Amino acid sequence: MIQNLVITQLVENVASAPGLLGEHGASLFIEADEQCLLLDTGQGLTLRQNAARLGIALERVTAVVLSHGHYDHTGGLDAVIEITGGAVDLYLHPAALAPKFNRDGRAIGAPMTDLDGLRSRVRQLIANREPVEIRSGLWLSGEIPRRHALEDTGGPFYRDATCTEIDTLPDDQALIIDTPLGLVVVLGCGHSGLINTLDYVQTLVPGRPIHAVLGGTHLLRATAERLDFTVQALAGFEVDYLAPNHCTGLAAMCLLRQHFPRQFRESPAGTRHCFDNSMIGR
């Protein structure tokens, strides 16, 4: 179990204070007791600037987790490897570096595509399809089962520029952190679906409540039916802390704030989310 957890929104679409920059992307700096890791690296345009402004020493990062292989979550990886001298463990799904395209045939995949070349630049590369324990109390989900038909990937996304091969984004993963308050679930984009993800988290770590959910939920183009389903199903998890951002979309953000006013938190670049023993009972 992680006793003290601080998650800083290092990269996000918008920024919270002077000197910080926004970009279409996401990266979270996670301090889990004595270990520092990154979930995603943004596009790479604002990572260094925001880290310096926030007093975050990226040299402390010992592990990088890629939630999936889109450019706005992987573009800063080269910078992180350079800053750390490659002394990091890199976690990613085997399909994370595969070609990816949007509905217009534009390439939106990771800037690096050579898995073996990347392996040679880091301390250890863990390409996982199944759940993997990064350290005690901290797991990466692996592939997330898609149980609810309403929850599509938020696409359409494709594996080829001619848009003939649908990309179901099997590389989408979530980070799960066990704290005294309960589980903290951190998403990159949630392409597997928010409710699919939370359902799976409860099967992976049975008997533990989900205290917090942070990150992108890719509800940007969700139908009214899906939004209604999401709100109703999310209420059943009794989450205490909800910080959606990035690809969630304005309509979904407003709806989530409306239905969960006590739990809702904003999370622009620069936001720090703290989870430790002092919060129990609050």
Looking at the domain assignment, is residue 206 inside a domain? yes
| pLDDT above 90 for 278 | no
| Per-residue pLDDT, 279 | 55
Number of structural domains the chain divides into: 1
Angle at CA of residue 189, ends 89 and 6, nearest 5°: 55
Angle at CA of residue 255, ends 249 and 257, nearest 5°: 100
Average pLDDT, the chain: 96
| pLDDT above 50 for 234 | yes
HSE value, Cβ hemisphere, 13 Å, CA-based, for 214: 30
Looking at the domain assignment, is residue 256 inside a domain? yes
37-60 pLDDT, tens digit per residue, is 999 999 999 999 999 999 999 999
Looking at the domain assignment, is residue 282 inside a domain? no
Average pLDDT on 142-146 reads 98
Give the integer Cα–Cα distance in Å for 263 and 48.
31
Is the pTM for the entire model greater than 0.75?
Answer: yes
* Containing structural domain, residue 71: 4-266+273-277
Query: CATH number, domain at 16?
Result: 3.60.15.10
Helix (H, G, I), strand (E, B) or coil at 232: helix
